[in-house]
Amino acid sequence: MNFATKVLHGTSCFDPVTGASSVPIYQASTFHQADLECPGRYDYARSGNPTRQALEEAIAVLEGGVRGFAFASGMAAISSVFMLFSSGDHVIVAEDVYGGTFRFLTKVLSRMGIGVTFVDATRVEQVTAAITPATKGIYLETPSNPTLKVTDLAAVCRMAKQHELLVIVDNTFLTPYYQRPLELGADVVIHSATKFIGGHSDVVAGLAVTKDAALGDQLYMIQNGMGAILGAQDSWLVMRGLKTLKARLDVGTRSADHIAHWLAEHPAVSRVYYTGLHSHEGHHVQERQASGHGAVLSFDVGSRERAKAIFDQVKLPIVAVSLGAVETILSYPVAMSHASMPVEEREKRGITDGLIRLSAGLEDTEDLVQDLAQALDSLPPFEHKINEKKTFSRA
């Protein structure tokens, strides 16, 4: 089955009990046991709920794994997956992981005796060099946020296998429609379903999928033990969003691609980050390991004042934290997702005061371009238009 069909028919597309065209919201915390000797499939909703289970089965099928889990948020999924490790273990983590993941690792997990080393995961040799006798896992995010750096998943997974390390991939930006890390050798895939999978900026949720059953049993024990489960209503909302994932991403990606190429030519923009641009460092690896470039891009307008002028003048996008929704979202990484990062660290990663992230929604592409154009045209152009190299004179 191809993805478009699988997303609708891969698992129960109707309620097996009544035939209802959407799995009902089983708003129940506990389940009657007719025969104590022979308990039913469900007993208590933290341990299992039919609505949540339908979502868990769907994401497992789409990612090509054996077992799925739905959590109260992306961070609940991430923190629960890290509970697979024990005190004394060491994990190698991509240096530009999501800010909330960085905070969890450095402020919470560090108190549990689990060591973390951050590396530039786009360079496999740096990942290998960070391995210690205590290393048990590698945690990746590709493309990364907000400069869309691409990690070669197959190469890292191959190396990890040799050292018997668990590979965990946050697949939020591309979703299983464009990228399936388990097929490239990863062991666990994680999602903030708040983003593309939910897709409507109306629910906070997280998902995880394991490649094998034994790891699935371990993660089930953690999900049930820690209790950060997704509620039945939110599970239903995420499933509703999931049904249109392909259609939404097709449209958003087409717009993002068009806008990225247009911005790359615009005299008021110093640099564009989008893996669909041939000039992007990670373009070729991305083409090899993913079937699309996604709906997120970033662009640099050179300074905080210039960025502010854009945010003040655009009319269509909502200005907000988050991404992956039906409406186009513009965010300002230095003041939002990366506000807590020291300036030197930020600048090293290309997260400058002029950087703006755009997550393309379902609006008409030309309307979006026109709106960006009226905002950008008010800025003085750069003397030397530099699309690919990092230096530019600040206006």
Nearer to ligand PLP, 141 or 300 (CB): 141
Out of 59, 121, 204, 325, the only residue in the binding site for ligand PLP (CB under 6 A) is 204
Parallel, antiparallel, or unpaired: how do β-strands 271-273 and 355-359 relate? unpaired
DSSP class per residue in 295-364: SEEEEE-SSHHHHHHHHHH--SSEE-S---SSS-EEE-TTTTTTTTS-HHHHHHTT--TTEEEEE--SS-
Q: What angle do CA 102, 320, 259 make, to 5 degrees?
A: 100
User: Residue 210 is which amino acid?
Assistant: T
Say if CB 121 and CB 95 are below 8 A apart: yes
Residue 192 interacts with ligand PLP (CB under 6 A): yes or no: yes
Q: Could you confirm whether 46 is annotated as catalytic?
A: yes
Closest-CA residue to 376 (of 221, 225, 252, 262): 262
Q: Which of 46, 103, 158, 308 is catalytic?
A: 46
Q: Could you confirm whether 89 is annotated as catalytic?
A: no
Nearer to ligand PLP, 168 or 215 (CB): 168
The phi and psi torsions of 328 (rounded to 5 degrees) equal -70, 135
Q: Which residues share a beta bridge with 93?
A: 118, 139
Q: Which of 89, 152, 170, 353 is catalytic?
A: 170
Q: In what order do the strands lie in the sheet with 296-300?
A: 271-273, 296-300, 355-359, 329-331, 318-319
Out of 49, 147, 151, 194, the only residue in the binding site for ligand PLP (CB under 6 A) is 194
Using CA atoms, how far apart are residues 119 and 243, in angstroms rounded to an integer?
36
Residue 98 interacts with ligand PLP (CB under 6 A): yes or no: yes
Residue 195 interacts with ligand PLP (CB under 6 A): yes or no: yes
DSSP state, residue 110: G
Shortest spacing between CB 315 and ligand PLP, in angstroms: 25
Query: Looking at 192-200, 230-238, 278-286, 354-362, which segment touches ligand PLP (CB under 6 A)?
Result: 192-200
Q: Could you confirm whether 136 is annotated as catalytic?
A: no
Residue nearest to ligand PLP (CB): 74
Say if CB 152 and CB 289 are below 8 A apart: yes
Nearer to ligand PLP, 158 or 240 (CB): 240
Residue 231 interacts with ligand PLP (CB under 6 A): yes or no: no
Residue 104 interacts with ligand PLP (CB under 6 A): yes or no: no
Shortest spacing between CB 14 and ligand PLP, in angstroms: 28
Say if CB 90 and CB 134 are below 8 A apart: yes
Out of 206, 252, 302, 350, the only residue in the binding site for ligand PLP (CB under 6 A) is 206
Nearer to ligand PLP, 148 or 314 (CB): 148
Residue 298 interacts with ligand PLP (CB under 6 A): yes or no: no
Omega of the bond prior to 380 within 30 degrees of 0, cis?
no
Out of 60, 70, 75, 259, the only residue in the binding site for ligand PLP (CB under 6 A) is 75
Q: Which of 136, 149, 180, 195 is catalytic?
A: 195
| Count of positions (residues) in the chain | 395
Nearer to ligand PLP, 325 or 379 (CB): 325
Q: Could you confirm whether 98 is annotated as catalytic?
A: yes
Say if CB 167 and CB 138 are below 8 A apart: yes
Using CA atoms, how far apart are residues 43 and 220, in angstroms rounded to an integer?
15
Nearer to ligand PLP, 102 or 392 (CB): 102
Q: Which residues does 323 contact at the CB level (< 8 Å), separation at least 6?
A: 173, 195, 196, 295, 296, 329, 331, 357, 359
Shortest spacing between CB 230 and ligand PLP, in angstroms: 10
Out of 56, 96, 170, 257, the only residue in the binding site for ligand PLP (CB under 6 A) is 170
The phi and psi torsions of 140 (rounded to 5 degrees) equal -125, 160
Residue 152 interacts with ligand PLP (CB under 6 A): yes or no: no
Query: Looking at 128-136, 189-197, 262-270, 303-311, which segment touches ligand PLP (CB under 6 A)?
Result: 189-197
Nearer to ligand PLP, 74 or 333 (CB): 74
Q: Which residues bind ligand PLP (CB under 6 A)?
A: 73-75, 98, 100, 141, 145, 170, 172, 192, 194-195, 204, 206
Catalytic positions = 46, 98, 170, 195
